[in-house]
Structures are given as C-alpha cells and as structure tokens.
Structure 1
Amino acid sequence: MINVINKLKKEWFLVGMVIAIALATITPELGKSGGLIHLDKLTGIGVAIVFFLHGLGLSPSAIKAGVSNWRMHIYIQAATFIAYPLLWIIFGDLLLAYMPAALAFGFCYLFVLPSTISSSVTMTSVGKGNVPGAIFNASLSSILGIVITPLLIQAFMGFEGVELDLVASITSIAKLLLLPMILGQLARPFLLKFAERHKSVVSKIDKYVILLIVYNAFCDSVANGIWSSFSMQMLITSIAICAVVLLCMVHLIQWGARRCQFQLADEVAAVFCGTKKTLAAGIPMATVIFGSNPDLGMILLPIMLYHPIQIFYCAILASRYATQSEQVKTASSH
C-alpha cells in the first residue's frame, strides 16, 4: 500500500490529469469557457505567468540561440504545414468514402491548422526542451496559419470568401506571449535570484497550468455535447483516427529529428510544436471560413477531439522527456 502511495505521489501530474478529466465529466458547467469560474480567463492568466517566468529565466544569449536555429524552424513548420496536409492528400478520398462529408472535411480542417502557442511552449518547458525555439516556432506557426490555413482549405475543399484579420491575430499573439516575456526579461535583474531560491515551486507552475487547461478543454467538450451529438460508432471512429494520427506524427517527428541529429532539447520542441493543432484559433477561424454552415459542429468535431487527446498524451510525453533530460544531464556531469 505504501509503495502504491509513493508511486502515486511520484506520478502526481498523471494522477492530476485523470482527476481533471473525471471532474470535467461531472462539472462541465463549472469549468467550461465562460462558465461559473471563467476558467478560460484563469488559464489565460496562468499562461501569462508561465511566459513571464520563461522571460525571467531566459538569458538574452539563449533567446538569440533559439531564434537562430533555422534547421529546427524549417523542420517544425514543414511538419505543421506540409506533413499534416499530406495526410489529407493521401487519405482524403478514403475518409470521404467511409464517413459523412462534413466530418471528413473536419479532418481536412484539423490537418491544415497551425500549432498552438501556450500549450506547445508549456509542454516544451515541462519536457526540458528548447523553450526559446518553441516560442519562436509557435508564434511563427500561428502567424503563418492565418494565411496558409484558409489557402489550403480553399485548395482542398473549395471554400471561398475567406477574410481573416491579420493585424488582430498578431496583436493577440503579442499580448499573450511577447508582453509577459518582455516583462519577465525586464524583471530578470530583480527577480532572478528569488526565482532560483524557490525553484521547486516555480518549476511546477507550468504543470499546474496544464492541469487547468486539461480541465477547461474537457469541460468545453462535455458542455458542447461533443460526446452525445454523434453516433457512438462515429464518435469512436473519430477518436481512434485522432489518436492514431497523433501517435504516428509524434513518432515520425521523433524519428526525423534523430535522423537530423537534433539535440534532445530541439527534439522536444519539434515534437510539441510540430504535432500540436490549435483549438483556440481553430474555432474562430472556422466560423469565418465556413460561415453559417449547418454542419459546422461536425466539421469542428475532429479538432474538438484531437485537442484534449493531444494535451493528455503530450503531457505524459513531456514528463518522460523531463526524466530523460535529467538522466542525460546527470550522465554528462559524471
């Protein structure tokens, strides 16, 4: 019994993920976006704090190194905007043959979306990866996606009349990411020693934020009836496809990163930035691209399913990477 308790304490993050999902199925109205506790705003504050701490902890030379790593940048953007869309080119006809067109096009939409910002950077941080590189690529992906995503949708699906506000999107990214980072950099001379003294607490903040994001994501899924609006067979098939796509892409990107002889920190950033697909930007973009399409709910189903799956699996993967990173660091010090 004591061994079990000790094991659970060691894996508290994974246990917390399971608890967050269980709570979401019971209390979706509490944790959904715009719900009783406005968890979406709370997680936004949490993400800002995580980015502030990144800014606090990063030296200017580390930031410069992150921006200058062009091989990793090309690799990540190619994974997001070439490898994923290729899935539709290869399997699109098969999906259209075996499921409703709206749902099949939903997978097309999932494949052409840009990466997330907050969770990909946060996961990279948890996994002891290249945080400056992740910040640069997540931001670049979001900006490129504003143009590339509707262009690919138009090429694959033939929708027209796409009009997205580039300036507003860049501004929101800057507020979410760059402002806390800049404030962290400015506060570095004053707060760095304090943060280092309380490293045990500071290092866990990003994991707490991920737990809140997981709870919020699953609450949104439950509250939006994502588990009850479709037949069980269709739902299970969609979940299976999302899981298989994620697993295959994670291992493909890992394999490619090792073939390119990336350092472990760069591999971590490549995996989390290259496999993530944004729900936060995906839903607003969908309402613009597809307008008042009555099948919008079914089109959005794949990204609604993929989002919590990617958070859950990548959180587990991040913990494994963190352990691997510590082992590499320990081995190199001896």
Structure 2
Amino acid sequence: MAGIGGDPWNNGTVTWLRKLPVDRFILVLLATVLLATVLPARGAGVRIFDVLTTVAVALLFFLYGARLSPQAAWAGARHWRLHTTILLATFALFPLLGLAARALEPWLLTPSLYQGLLFLCAVPSTVQSSIAFTSIAKGNVAAAVCGASFSNLAGVLVTPLLVAALLHGDGQVRISGGSAATIALQLLAPFALGQLARPWIGGWLNRHKRPVAVVDRGSVVLVVYTAFSAGVVAGIWHEVAAGRLVAVAVVDAALLASVLGILTLVARLLRFSREDRIAAVFCGSKKSLASGLPMAAVLFSGHTVGLIVLPLMLFHQIQLMTCAALAKRWGNRAGASGAPAAPARSLAAAG
C-alpha cells in the first residue's frame, strides 16, 4: 500500500540512479540496513526508536483504515470466485508452499531464515502495485482494486493468526508475550479508528497523496532501521553469509514462479476471462513489504526480527521486477488502447 501517489524519494535523485534497474526505494532500504550496520541504535537510543516505531506502526494502520473504502470493496463482491481465488492464494497456497520448503532447513536455509520464509507466506498482498500491473497488462482493474483491498483487510487479522499457527512450537522465534493485546492496540484499533475517521479525512488523504506516501515509506524505513539495529547489536551478520542471501533469493524466486504458475492454471480451469486471470495472477502472487515490516515489528521480539524480514525484502524486489516484465508483455499482447501505464520505477516501492 505504500507509495500511493507521488514518489517522495525521487526528488533530487542523481541521473545515474534513475538508470538503475533496481527500485530506488529498495536502495533506500539497503542504505538503511548499512546505516544500522555501521551506527546501530544502542542504550537509550533503542528505547527512543522503539517508541517511534510503535507510533509509526499505529499511524500507518490508521492511514490504511482511512484510505480503504468499504463501499468500493463491497461493490466488487459480485466477483466472489475471483476474490476467493486471490485470498486462497495469499493465505493458503503460499503457506502450504512455505511448509513444503521445510525440507530446505537447515542445509540451505537457517532456522531463522526459514521462519522468515514462513512469515513472508503469511503476509497480505500489495495494493498499489497489484492494481498498477493489472492496468498495464489490460486486466480487470476494478476487480484488482477489490481483490487487493480484501487481502489487506483480511491480513490485519489473518496474518498474525497464520504466523502464530505456522511458527507454533518453534523455539528459534518467539512471538512476543501479550501479542494479542499488542496487535489489537497497534494494528486493529488504529485501523478501526481510521475507518471511523474516513468520512472526514478520506478526501483530504486522497488529495494530499505525497505526505501520505512519506508516512508510509518513512514508517517502513524506521522499522527496518530498528529491526536491523537490534540484529547488528546481537551479531546478525555473523549468522548470515553471502551464500545464504543468495540461497534465500533463489528460494524466493522459486516460490514466486510456483505461485504464478499455479494461479495461471487455476484461473484457466475456473474459466476466468483474460482480464480476470490477469487480476488473479497479480493480486494473488505478491506480498506487501509495507504491511509485513510493521507486522514483524509487532509480532516478533529480539534480534531475529532482522533475519525474519530478509526473505520478505528480497521477495519484494523479485516480485516487482518479474511482474513488471509480465505486465508489459501481456499488455503488448492485448494490443488494446488504454490508460497510459506508469513507469515501473514509480511502482516498485508500492505495497
């Protein structure tokens, strides 16, 4: 959901950065990781950043609630087969594939990295990039709006429950004590307040998209810095070698390819129209970095948070590059005139 509207990271960016095939927001996150590696928060700084992170997460989910229109979501409820397919892909297919990947532990993935893979599988879909790629591919944009919104609405509740179920009994990652109350206070309550406040501030948020984008991405950067600072202080980089990072990227790519293939096959078997197939593939195959990082900060404690979010961060970049290529290819095949597609670089940080 992050990144709706303008791109606050584009202003002043040097020319050579614009030519890079890597998303600039990912470069910002990598720079944040580097900063946390060199100058991690320590002592009183840890408490300050913990408070800032708590406030940022609450504000982020308040904005989610204020921006999502229940009326628009219900208006698309007639596409129930499509929405069910997207939800099942996001919250059932992904977790099943994640559980099947347990065979990769520990010879390819460390226990903490495998748990990060399971967390990735429980995160909801993106909103902005799913809609944008569906539009580029000449798919059913209205269905994509509803499907991606349903996923994010469901994820506020389903993702924590899935995490608790998938990681139950695993001693390497500890769900924070009192996590149910924490989730209610930091995620559900702000989201509900945002929904209640939507009639008064929803229009303002739609007219002032850049400040909202700054809050979205700023929250993600803050969570990344806090998580990796804790990891550095606890010696995270002594646990992850370069080879492990490559292994995670390969596993992420295989996971994405599997979901894309299965969704394409299922959509054909269900006799979806071409436009609905495109919406199902893009909405059901992606995972939200903007939602996942704050949830990780709430759900997990200790230095393992940094390891937990690594698979999601890598998956985010892989999914965007892959889906951007697919969207352009399918859009060219359609050969139909439509709204001009937004450049891929402006979509890469969305969701």
Bin of the TM-score, shorter chain as denominator length: 0.5 to 0.7
Instruction: Write the deviation string for residues 233-263 of structure 1: whole angstroms up to 9, x where unpaired.
Output: 8432432233223322333333333330434
Q: Per residue, is there more helix in 1 or in 2?
A: 1
Larger relative contact order, structure 1 or 2 (CA cutoff 8 Å, min sep 6): 2
Partner of 1:177: 191
Which of 280, 300, 320 matches 2:294?
280
Q: Please give the alpha-carbon distance, in whole angstroms, between the structure 2 residues aligned to 1:284 and 1:311.
A: 20
The equivalent of 1:140 in structure 2 is 154
Whole-Å separation in 2 of the counterparts to 1:210 and 1:271: 22
Question: How many angstroms does 1:68 deviate by?
Answer: 4.8
Between the aligned partners of 1:47 and 1:320, the Cα distance in structure 2 is 31
Counterpart of 1:96 in structure 2: which amino acid? P
Aligned counterpart, 1:309: 314
- C-alpha distance in 1 between matches for 2:331 and 2:200: 29
**Structure 1 CA distance, aligned partners of 2:176 and 2:52?**
31
Alpha carbons of structure 1 residues 217 and 67: separation in structure 2 relative to 1, 3 Å: farther
Unaligned runs of 5+ in 2: 1-12, 136-140, 341-351
**TM-aligned CA deviation for residue 116 of structure 1:** 3.9
Task: Look up the match of 1:254.
Answer: 260
1:21 corresponding residue in structure 2: 30
Matches within 5 A, 1:217-256: 217-226=223-232, 229-230=235-236, 234-256=240-262
> For 1:7 and 1:88, how far apart are their aligned partners in 2?
38
Give me the CA root mean square deviation: 5.1
Check if 1:41 corresponds to 2:52: no
Query: In structure 2, what residue type is equivalent to 1:175?
Result: A
The one-letter amino acid paired with 2:74 is: K
Supply the distance in 1 between the matched residues of 2:34 and 2:327 (Cα, whole angstroms). 29
Scaled by the length of structure 2, the TM-score of the pair is: 0.61
* Aligned-partner residue type, residue 38 of structure 1: L
TM-score by length of 1: 0.63
Structure 1: state its 5+ residue gaps.
Answer: 288-295
- The alpha-carbon distance between structure 1 residues 132 and 96, as it changes in their structure 2 partners (threshold 3 A), is same
Kindly tell me the number of residue pairs found equivalent between the two proteins. 306
Check if 1:215 corresponds to 2:229. Answer: no
Residues 84-114 of structure 1: CA deviation (Å, up to 9, x unaligned): 4444554424423567xxx326514641566
48 and 222 in structure 1: CA distance in 2 versus 1, 3 angstrom threshold: same
Distance 1:234 1:45 in 2: 32
Where do residues 185-224 of structure 1 align in structure 2 (5 Å cutoff)? 185=199, 191=203, 195=206, 202=209, 208-209=214-215, 211-224=217-230
Identity of paired residues, percent?
13
